[in-house]
Amino acid sequence: MSGDEFLNLRVKRTRKAIRNTLFELLEEKEFNKISINAIPQKAEISRVTFYSHYKDMNHLIDANPQ
């Protein structure tokens, strides 16, 4: 696996973890009650990592329509 393929796989895994965490939190509470800090904490990533993929919660929702 080349370096680019590994990076792409890591990006996909991180985004999947963020997305899955959002959906888990949405089962517990309404969207407007979820803090931006809750997602990285529950997904076990840093806030910097979250913001390197999404600029805010609305961007996360727009990138993952369901």
In the chain, the number of structural domains is 1
Handedness of CA 12, 22, 66, 49 (dihedral sign): negative
User: What CATH number is associated with residue 11?
Assistant: 1.10.10
Please name the residue ranges forming H helices in the chain. Answer: 3-28, 38-43, 47-53, 57-63
* Residue 32 or 4, more confident: 32
pLDDT band for position 63 (cuts 50, 70, 90) = confident
| Residues recorded for the chain | 66
Query: What digits encode the pLDDT tens for the residues 19-53?
Result: 999 999 999 999 999 999 999 999 999 999 999 99
Full domain range(s) for residue 58: 3-63
Helix (H/G/I), strand (E/B), else coil: 36: coil
- Give residues with Cβ within 8 angstroms of 35, minimum separation 6: none
pTM for the model stands at: 0.83
Q: Does residue 6 carry a pLDDT above 70?
A: no
